[in-house]
Structure 1
């Protein structure tokens, strides 16, 4: 059974998060990326954990079916993080496992740092606790070939708003999914995403703060929290080497790198991805 609800998380500039819940036993909060996407592209294979986990999929503020139309200054990583704390309060969840994907992986780190008592185990998927160096992908010709289409979309003056976000997502499919056989599935998922452009405005204005907590690796190491860094070997957004380096810096962390998988490793290799996640959580 899947339940859908709107949960109020802020009365100061009213914010309601559209939340999908697949009831089980141990809670697992899933934080999507984008950020101007929604949670739907992550449902499969995560819904298959419902036999053991109470899987909670919120759309972040400004995303999907959650509250939009806020002033640009209200779209910040801190605001999104405290929304999630309020969501857990409203759902009566005292402590939860947390999976953050891509940009959501950065939000998840912030949640662990500011509310460590609410996080039992942390999964940072297709993301990084370390900044991406400017030359991280230097010399990778296959990546250069695959990212051209998305770059062209972002520079197209005829596109704006959610239309731009959607077009960029579709144009970036080959850069996000490594295996050609998985592209049709991925594009079908994208067709269901309710894209927005609420976060894009402050990003382009240069007012969006970084989502990665300062000294993230050091601070996460200090928590002693069990952490899984789950990554695709061919990730073209966050290099897999950073996941391996993060695991070296955080004694309580382990990195699992899945071969023949890109940024959307759960699409490229769903069975191996889910098996690695389930092993960590069980």
Structure 2
């Protein structure tokens, strides 16, 4: 398996592996603002198996994605940032190959399962969801067109600040979407990427949670319930917190990666 990987030069012993979400998206929507770390850190942005420009080789499963990343890392250990669905893949990577993960950032994702009805009673969520109904059942759309259309439909739910929407939509225009996982997901054949024992299995790894307070995919309320080394919940930010608050988001990433004291357990901004 040969993944497509964007690399930004920096010291090999200060590598940050960035795992994108989806599946069905490429890595490009995460390059900014992380690119600003280049030079000080080596950055790796792979397209996961069957995503972006990486081949859609069987098996198309979370474990296969993790196996690809283990091959990519090689040695020595790296820091890992997993975003959204990529946060679940990153957790599996850290659990299956803890010797390869120095520090783990779970961004706009969760370690704990999302409870049913997590957003019930949140008026703004209900208003935005009603104004932008799901397209998954639209008979006129299928394949890549459906994945792309749903990404644009979700923009007002993923970005909290209205002034951030135009820039986010321009970023979506550059994403290479794929429908590799669409049929398996619709038919219930795509295994869950969530590890059932993640809290216990991640206890020995420095873990940083980075979240937007108004995330409409993974509720921010789970952050305070999750044992971790450190956590930040950014105000005025949604699921795409790096779009809503790029400077604060990047500063939080930089602070954690520059912090070698791994004994603290606190939440900032709650």
Bin for the TM-score computed over the shorter chain? over 0.9
Q: Distance in 2 between matches of 1:22 and 1:51?
A: 8
Confirm whether residue 278 of structure 1 aligns to residue 262 of structure 2: no
Q: Distance in 1 between matches of 2:122 and 2:213?
A: 13
Q: CA RMSD in A?
A: 1.1
Distance 1:110 1:150, change over 3 A: farther
From 57, 69, 84, give the equivalent of 2:69: 84
In the TM superposition, what whole-angstrom CA distance separates every residue of 1:129-182 from its partner, at most 9, and x where no partner exists?
011011111101111121235543112111011100000000100000000111
Q: Distance in 1 between matches of 2:44 and 2:131?
A: 33
SS at 1:65 equivalent: coil
Confirm whether residue 59 of structure 1 aligns to residue 39 of structure 2: no
Aligned length: 256
- Partners of 1:29 and 1:97 within 8 A in 2: yes
Tell me which moved more, 143-152 or 74-83. 143-152
Q: Distance in 2 between matches of 1:171 and 1:18?
A: 27
Q: Distance in 1 between matches of 2:127 and 2:86?
A: 26
Q: Distance in 2 between matches of 1:152 and 1:120?
A: 38
- Partners of 1:150 and 1:168 within 8 A in 2: no
Q: Distance in 2 between matches of 1:50 and 1:135?
A: 40
- Partners of 2:22 and 2:85 within 8 A in 1: yes
From 136, 143, 152, give the equivalent of 1:161: 143
Confirm whether residue 211 of structure 1 aligns to residue 187 of structure 2: no
Q: Cα distance, 1:51 vs. partner?
A: 2.7
| Residues 103-252 of structure 1 mapped to structure 2, 5 A cutoff | 103-148=85-130, 151-221=133-203, 224-246=204-226, 249-250=227-228
More helix by share: 1
Matching residue of 1:3: none
In the TM superposition, what whole-angstrom CA distance separates every residue of 1:20-47 from its partner, at most 9, and x where no partner exists?
0001120000000011000000000000
Structure 2 unaligned runs (5+)?
259-270
Matching residue of 2:266: none
Q: Distance in 2 between matches of 1:148 and 1:75?
A: 33
From 24, 46, 49, give the equivalent of 1:36: 24
Matching residue of 1:102: 84
- Partners of 1:149 and 1:172 within 8 A in 2: no
Structure 1 segments (4+ residues) deviating >4 Å = none
Matching residue of 2:5: 19
SS at 1:174 equivalent: helix
| Residues 68-79 of structure 1 mapped to structure 2, 5 A cutoff | 68=56, 70-71=57-58, 74-79=59-64
Q: Distance in 2 between matches of 1:270 and 1:81?
A: 28
Distance 1:82 1:149, change over 3 A: farther
Q: Distance in 1 between matches of 2:81 and 2:174?
A: 21
SS at 1:164 equivalent: helix
Structure 1 unaligned runs (5+)?
1-14
